[in-house]
Structure 1
């Protein structure tokens, strides 16, 4: 039988043993064609992993998916849409992603190097800040460099904040649960407050931490304790194997597709869930087409940004409801372009740009392994408030706005880029953002409440993970929720 002790034998580090190889208990669950044992809302990695584990114990699941594909926020663009099929969602698979790596290996999928999306080699990158184009080699001596210390002036602006998170991280090394413990609650303050306390001027904070933010919308609404947790996790990932991040050949979406293909459980697509009702006898899940589905238990894996729009009866307890209603989700807006001219050869400037404009990061993608130097497509990867602004425009109007602004700061691009795909995670009603982030004060109050199970309703998803983040965090959460359901059976 699967037990928490067996699964979590390695404690704070990522689980290395393949869980799905654990012995099942055939026949222990319902195999009738009636109601399933467990209704799972969402066919992302967490829901698929939970279904895999529950099936291995003999229980019957049914997965309700609002869209018409599996994967959730693991989503690969079609080759017919964007050459090189770039990732629209989850990108890199780290050395410590034990569940991801084991599942890929078990399903016969091939791992290849991660395809860079929001970073670029130094010789392919330039900055455009405060109306000026700047080459990386010129940054240490540039008049716009806001720092006085010679060492600080040498640090590229996009990496500066991370040097401080590493230097001042209070979390014990390799203790990946520490970020949720009460003794570190005093660090649950904003990025702005943390950097300002170090004596960094406000204008410098806006540049190095508020430009192209990975999480959040501004330096005041993101907890630095989240960055400390991420830094601790990345350090552990390096020590776990130290290999460069990997990806699935053909696109990361191939992994959830392969997981779904192995399931016996039914996946029902186009199921827009509107409410969940639970009582002593079981759960009811209501959909927008007035269907009602019933089961003994329900596992909800959708982001809280989507869950907060569902009707829940009974309501979760106070702080868990607070988390559902208020945890942040990072707005991410992408425009994918196909180059029609090699404009970078015309103006003799680097291919990629890191800007403080609504364009965000304009990155040249090299997604053809047979021609690694060839630019297969371009992506404008926009985060935070700039993404929210673009979300207010119609997709084509937003793309046109970015193209016009790009041509203004780099005239050689005019007429050289063709819009191939516009993608917004924030406008997606079933996502409501790309990934969860913690606002100041939320970790100490809410982090240990988000995944507390009810008697019939359980929660999973990357936002509920403790040890890992991203795709591995989603897998971790599905595993944890499956064990909780098994304990309740």
Structure 2
């Protein structure tokens, strides 16, 4: 499939017609349109983002699929990474592991790879979900980094400022193509919505971690890929042509 991969195009419309599926898209920079027609389509877009894509005819998706598209919950998640001139935490006897706090950083992770303590090192200073993550999302990145340093200083002392090199953060909620880090069922949603999330709608099939039995994990994405591969392979031969 290497020669057929197309990047930087944003899907705008999915049309099912005449035993085929047509995908309309536009380039994210030039806005040039691109239309692709095939026998089937496999959609891996996070479910709630399908609300911004025109589906024609609208009733080609069932009522329960639309309900899942509107209601499936996606969890916010934000990470802040900090780089230091050397691995001062290893001098404190910390070689890998997780730090749990009641500070805004909530969870920190130390690298488990052994190295020369004098070499620079990275700490995942903050990994937060849901409300703990949206607290960070309101801040500019430079403020996220400074507050993460301040929180780490509570644990490791002011040496964190002396050895700080740089930092970076990322919010999956603020990514327009993910709308959150992963799907996470609210109470009752697994029973109410999941039976309809992975099911095909006409010639449109669905994959992605949100369609699996282990959402939020790479395992779930792989599981869904295997499922949908079997799904389209086992269709009647007349469905997709010769």
TM-score by length of 2: 0.80
2:14 paired residue number: 276
Report if the CA contact (8 A) 2:75-2:130 is conserved: yes
Which deviations, in whole Å up to 9, do the C-alpha atoms of 1:76-116 show, x marking residues without a partner?
A: xxxxxxxxxxxxxxxxxxxxxxxxxxxxxxxxxxxxxxxxx
**In the TM superposition, what is the alpha-carbon distance from 1:343 to its structure 2 partner?**
4.3
Distance 2:79 2:232 in 1: 37
Does 2:60 correspond to 1:292?
no
Aligned to 1:442: 189
Q: Any conservation in 1 of the 2:11–2:25 contact (CA below 8 Å)?
A: yes
1:309 aligns with 52
Contact 2:87–2:121 (Cα < 8 Å) also in 1: no
User: 2:179 aligns to what?
Assistant: 432
Gap change, CA 1:359 and 1:268, over 3 Å in 2: same
Output the CA distance in 2 between the equivalents of 1:481 and 1:349. 47
Paired with 2:72 and 2:183, the residues of 1 have a C-alpha distance of: 7
1:321 equivalenced with 2:66 (yes/no): yes
Aligned pairs for 1:85-484 within 5 A: 263-264=1-2, 266-288=4-26, 289=31, 290-315=33-58, 316-344=61-89, 348=92, 353-367=99-113, 371=115, 376-379=121-124, 380-408=126-154, 410-412=156-158, 413-466=160-213, 470-484=217-231
Distance in 1 between residues matched to 2:46 and 2:80, nearest whole Å = 23
CA displacement 1:376-412 (0-9 Å, x = unmatched): 3100212221211212222222222222333356433
Report how many residues are paired: 224
Are the equivalent residues in 1 in contact too, given 2:145–2:168 (CA < 8 A)? Answer: no
Aligned-pair distance for 1:468?
A: 8.0
User: Partners of 2:104 and 2:13 in 1: how far apart?
Assistant: 37
SS in 1 for 2:162: coil
- Per the normalisation by structure 1, the TM-score is 0.42
Q: 1:307 to 1:417 in 2, by over 3 A?
A: farther
Instruction: Return the alpha-carbon distance in structure 2 between the equivalents of residues 409 and 468 of structure 1.
Output: 33
Runs (5+) with no aligned partner, structure 1: 1-262
- Partners of 1:467 and 1:336 lie apart in 2 by 26
- The offset of 1:350, in angstroms, is 5.2
The CA deviation string for residues 136-180 of structure 1, in whole angstroms up to 9 with x for no partner, is: xxxxxxxxxxxxxxxxxxxxxxxxxxxxxxxxxxxxxxxxxxxxx
Q: Secondary structure at the match of 2:69?
A: helix
- Secondary structure in 2 aligned to 1:418? strand
Give the structure 2 partner of residue 47 of structure 1. Answer: none
Tell me if the contact between 1:303 and 1:463 (Cα under 8 Å) persists in the aligned partners.
yes
1:299 is displaced (CA, Å) by: 0.7
Change in CA separation of 1:334 and 1:313 when aligned onto 2, cut-off 3 Å: same
CA distance in 1, matches of 2:73, 2:48: 8
